Amino acid sequence: MFFRFLAWVCLCLLESVHGQGNEVQRHGLNFEHWVADAFFDGYRAPGPTEKWDIPASANKRHGNIPVNPKATKYGEPVGLGDALRQYDIDEPFLLVVGFWKQEGDTKHFVQSLTVRITPETWRELWGGVTRADLEELDRLVKDTTRPVDEVRRAALLVKSKPPFSGAVIQVNPKIDRSQRRLQCSISYARLFASLAPDRDRGPVGTPEIFGRKIPSVKGSPRRSPSG
């Protein structure tokens, strides 16, 4: 009886953590939906594997190019997704980012950035990193014949050296017992320095996108210290 009760408690804790993780991530989806509803006729991607969150065909009023909306905590890096897929981008696109601070259970947006990125600029952000470099690191990250800790140490060592250390876009190996992924991101400071050097990057009272104030996101609890 005791062990059955203990198993039930563990299951409840796991479900609670999983649910909290979903809640914490929900603000990003809310932001993406607001962007789509406000500017792109409510477009929704038909599936999670689409190349763009908002394709060029849905962007009839802001340049007829794809749109990549992102929401992240103020001052923290902007996650871009799978490194190889991001590296292969070869067309202009709009990067639309909202940065939030949390008060209680509400995330208030305090800064934003909307910028058109050309393929040439995108390539510059990768610095001297080649696709072959990424492929080699991706193979290392996904090498399941080696222990997780060993692969993690090796991948972080590669990341810390040229050409990766000199790029604006940083690679982020995600390696544990449940995942083997190579993602990438760009830091808050490097984002503004590289793509909007004349912009004030401090918090503003009413951040806007295309002249419209970004609404707050409610119902997303703070991440627990263990999360």
Strand-pair partners of 185:
79, 170
Closest alpha carbon to 174 in 82, 72, 76, 87:
82
Instruction: Look at residue 38 and give its three-state secondary structure.
Output: helix
In tens, the pLDDT along 62-79 reads 999 999 999 999 999 999
In tens, the pLDDT along 18-58 reads 444 444 445 457 899 999 999 999 999 998 788 999 999 99
- What's the mean per-residue pLDDT of the chain? 87
Work out the average pLDDT over 144-163.
97
In tens, the pLDDT along 165-211 reads 999 999 999 999 999 999 999 999 999 999 999 999 999 989 999 99
Total-model pTM: 0.83
Instruction: Look at residue 198 and give its three-state secondary structure.
Output: coil
Pick the more confident residue, 225 or 129: 129
% of the chain beyond a pLDDT of 90: 77
Q: What is the pLDDT of residue 27?
A: 47
Strand-pair partners of 217:
107
% of the chain beyond a pLDDT of 70: 84
